[in-house]
Each structure stands twice: as C-alpha cells, then as structure tokens.
Structure 1
Amino acid sequence: MQFSAAFEQGKLIKRYKRFLTDIELEDGQQVTIHCPNTGSMRNCLFEGEKVWFSTSDNPKRKYSRTWELAQSDAGHLIGINTGRANQLAEDAIKDGVITELQGYANLKREVKYGSENSRIDILLWDDSDSNQPKCYVEVKSCTLLEEGQGYFPDAVTTRGQKHLRELMEMVALGHRAVLLFVVQHTGIHSVQAADHIDPDYALLLSQAHQAGVEVLAYCAEMSPNCSSLINSCPVKL
C-alpha cells in the first residue's frame, strides 16, 4: 500500500477520550489529531516517542490529521490505524502474498452474512467453479506485544466473539472460513489469543479452530511512505 503522501512526524503527548491524541509537531506546536483505533492500545502508547500522521483535505473534518504510526521505546513501528488492516489484506491477496487465499476470481469487501447480522471483511469466490466453496475472511489487526509475544485482543471483545461464531456457522454451511491476523507491529513474530485479557475469546477461538475455521497471521512491513504484508508468522493455538 503506497500512501498518497508521506506521513508527517511528531511526538506523542497523550491519547484520551478514545479517539483523540495530542502530539507535538517538529516545530514545537502542540495539536490534537484523530486516533482511528477503538481498542485499548495496550503497550502501544509511548509518550515522548515518535508518531506519524496523515492529513486530510476534507474541510468537513474537525480534526484533519489522523494518527497512523507509533514508535515503541524499543524502536518498533506500530500501525495505529486499524482501518488499514483490511486494505493490507486485500492487497496481499491480490499480489499473491497470502498463498493460502489464492485461486479465487472474485473479491468483495464488507458483505453481509451470518445469523448475527455481521459484515465479513473479505469474501472470495469463483463463479466459474460451482464446486469451490466461498471463502469468508475476517481480518483482525494485532498490535499487542508483551514479553516478546503478540496477542489478540488487547481488550475484551464481544464483537470479536460474535465474528468467531459466525465463521463457525459458515463452516457448518459448507463454506470456507478464515480468521486473518494482520500484524501491524514490527516486534511481533507470533500471535496467540490473549487468554489473560479475554478468556472467553481465547476459548471460542480454540473451538472455532477445532470446528474448521482456519487461522492465519501475516506480518506487515511499515514506513511513513508505504505498508505491506510480507510474510506469514505462527499462530499459537
């Protein structure tokens, strides 16, 4: 994913009210920018460290700047904008990087599915092959690093639990279902369920895997100019 313009740099002051972040620009000016991350951002908030942001020219936006990247105190880059994960996944599928998701002629985003009225992040299918099951891909952004291990989620997620149930439902209906962790943290090299944060999610993930839901993880290479998924990493189930 090549960004339309290189991100600008600042320094993190604090995040608050969930969607707001104060930063210091390179000229010393302090500004408030939008934080596009609904999670707890556990172990992603390093006050005084570098951050990068994009700027929108939409005059209707209250905050024109959006937080995109953070730097940890160990020098790792972290993708703050969880909305980028789906595009990273789509690009990696189209470019052949995610080898497990090749062989489909069609890709569509945000398709309604399931008995709990969700939208699947990516739906893959091939009209020319009636015997090929549709593939439902749910994408999750993984940014929590603790003691060298990557975890998901970083907070209790009833929404994530619902998605696992619906993926299991798709398998039961004869389709293919995939949970894809997009790792937006350069210090994470393996992923596992955060049982110490959301034990219900961890249990449900194990049940989903046993029921036939495939679980994949791919790591992103990130910079202020571009970002892309480059390789798979292990998922500990």
Structure 2
Amino acid sequence: MELFTFDDELTAGRIVDRPNRFVVRVRFDEEPERVFLGDPGALEGILEPGREILCSPVDDPDRSTDYDAIAIDVDGTYVSVRAALANDLFEQLLAADALPAFEEYAFRKREPQLPDHGRADFLLHDRSDSPAYVEVKSCTHVDNGIAKFPDRQTERGRRHLRSLAGLVDDGHEAHVVFVVQRPDVDRFRPYREVDPDFAELFAQVRNAGVTVHALATAFDPPQYRLHERALPIDLEA
C-alpha cells in the first residue's frame, strides 16, 4: 500500500564518516559534504563508510548543512533514516484506515498534553469517545529478520513507557507503536543487549495493560509504502 511520495530531489552519494550523532559526511563528487542526519540512533550495520545514501538538498542560508539524509542502501534495501517520519507514516496509516488494530479509533490531535505532565505523540478517540494515547517510536535496527529497539541506551524511551503505564493506572487507554522503517523484517523484539532496563520495563508495561504494536514500512524511491501491518512481538532475549 502506497503512503506518499517524496517529491523533493534526491541526490545519491557515498558515506564517508559520522562526526557526530546528527551529521554524516557524504561524498557526492569530490570533497565530502556535511549532511544532517535526523536519526540519532547508533545505526549499527546501517551507517557504514562506502554505502550509498540518498540525500535531499536544502536551500537554507541559516543552516550549517546543505542536505538532509533520507535513506541508506543496506544490501539492496533502503533503510529510512528520518526518525521523525515515523509519526507522519503512522498518521497516514490512520487516515487510510490501514491498521486493523486502530480501525475503531478516530484521530483527534498530535502531541496532546497528558493528564499529569508531558505529552504523547497522538490522541485518538474510540467509538464511545473515550481517549486513547499513542506513543510512536521509529526503529531501524534489524538482525536476521528481527527488528530491535532501542539501538542505543534511551532514558527518554524508558520515561515514555513509564508515562504510558501511568495513564493505564489512571484508567486511560495507552498504546506504543514501533514503526520499523525497512521491509526486511518479520518480528519485533526489545533490544535487551543494548538497554536491558528498557526491555524489562517494556515487558512490565505490556503486562500492565499498555498495548504494543509493531509495523513495517518500505521506501522504494520516491514512494513510501506499508509493508506489514502487524509484526509479531517477541519478548525473548
């Protein structure tokens, strides 16, 4: 199922290195160019020197980089490296009624204020007009067909899980959705080796009533499409 088309120009280059979490140096012709990287994850096995990377030129004199990183070719599969895109993809899928798990829900707003403090990514309402809060996470790490999150330690991710569990304790409905931004995957698992505390908390909040979902998308330039509506969730290490 096609979600949307990336209309901006795409320029292919080769990865040189990654000087910091948000910059990758790319060789297009001669001297390497600094490219903004919107995925602060470790990107182990993805962002490697010599790999092809698709970038979008940006005309903004106030920026220190002239390109955005869009996707990296990993053995013939494009892996989207735009973490914030996961929310847009989820919203597109909601609008298209493409997710059976959410077919009884209507979109209300993005970034709703939580009853206690902080914000969620989405507020939905079910058919009885009861609120349901949704947190969306982008996932790119895949090992032998298993998507794993997070690919580096994430206190922010643990805080989000605790917030969702608190919502359930207060009688609200809460969901977390992992959007795997690559199609070479057949199941999802918390990455216990990288963040054991997240994995333990993941199991606890799931048992406490937070509903967990995982889905997979694909980028076939210039189209983004839905690859798998519901990946199995695996809690084994």
TM-score scaled by length of structure 2: 0.91
- The 5 A counterparts of 1:91-102 are 91-102=92-103
Preserved contact between residue 114 and residue 166 of structure 1 (Cα < 8 Å): no
Pairwise CA distance, 1:90 = 0.5
The CA distance in 1 between the partners of 2:48 and 2:76, in whole Å, is 11
- Asked if residue 66 in structure 1 is aligned to residue 64 in structure 2, the reply is no
Unpaired runs of 5+ in structure 1?
none
Preserved contact between residue 46 and residue 71 of structure 1 (Cα < 8 Å): no
- Asked if residue 23 in structure 1 is aligned to residue 26 in structure 2, the reply is yes
Residues 9-46 of structure 1, C-alpha deviations (whole Å, 9 max, x = no match)? 11111112111111111x44521111111222222212
Q: Tell me, what secondary structure is at the counterpart of 1:120?
A: coil
Q: Tell me, what secondary structure is at the counterpart of 2:158?
A: helix
- The 5 A counterparts of 1:65-144 are 65-72=67-74, 74-113=75-114, 115=116, 117-125=117-125, 131-144=128-141
Name the structure 1 match of 2:185.
Answer: 188
TM-score scaled by length of structure 1: 0.91
The CA distance in 2 between the partners of 1:113 and 1:228, in whole Å, is 31
The CA distance in 2 between the partners of 1:99 and 1:180, in whole Å, is 13
Q: Tell me, what secondary structure is at the counterpart of 1:111?
A: coil
Q: Tell me, what secondary structure is at the counterpart of 2:93?
A: helix
Equivalenced residues, count: 231
The CA distance in 2 between the partners of 1:229 and 1:122, in whole Å, is 20
- Asked if residue 37 in structure 1 is aligned to residue 39 in structure 2, the reply is yes
Amino acid at match of 1:118: G
Q: Tell me, what secondary structure is at the counterpart of 1:195?
A: coil
Q: Tell me, what secondary structure is at the counterpart of 1:208?
A: helix
The CA distance in 2 between the partners of 1:134 and 1:230, in whole Å, is 28
Pairwise CA distance, 1:186 = 2.4
Pairwise CA distance, 1:54 = 1.4
Preserved contact between residue 158 and residue 198 of structure 2 (Cα < 8 Å): yes
Pairwise CA distance, 1:156 = 1.0
Amino acid at match of 1:4: D
- The 5 A counterparts of 1:152-163 are 152-163=149-160
Query: Runs of 4 or more off by more than 6 Å in structure 1?
Result: none
Pairwise CA distance, 1:228 = 3.0
Preserved contact between residue 158 and residue 201 of structure 2 (Cα < 8 Å): yes
The CA distance in 2 between the partners of 1:108 and 1:228, in whole Å, is 23
Name the structure 2 match of 1:151.
Answer: 148
Unpaired runs of 5+ in structure 2?
none
Distance 1:30-1:155 versus aligned 2 partners, 3 A rule: same
Q: Tell me, what secondary structure is at the counterpart of 1:235?
A: coil
Q: Tell me, what secondary structure is at the counterpart of 1:10?
A: strand
Pairwise CA distance, 1:114 = 5.2
Pairwise CA distance, 1:165 = 0.8
Preserved contact between residue 94 and residue 107 of structure 2 (Cα < 8 Å): no
Residues 39-73 of structure 1, C-alpha deviations (whole Å, 9 max, x = no match)? 2222221211111011223332221211010011x
The CA distance in 2 between the partners of 1:19 and 1:125, in whole Å, is 35
Query: Higher mean Cα deviation, 53-62 or 16-25?
Result: 53-62
The CA distance in 2 between the partners of 1:2 and 1:13, in whole Å, is 28
Pairwise CA distance, 1:107 = 2.8
Name the structure 1 match of 2:54.
Answer: 52
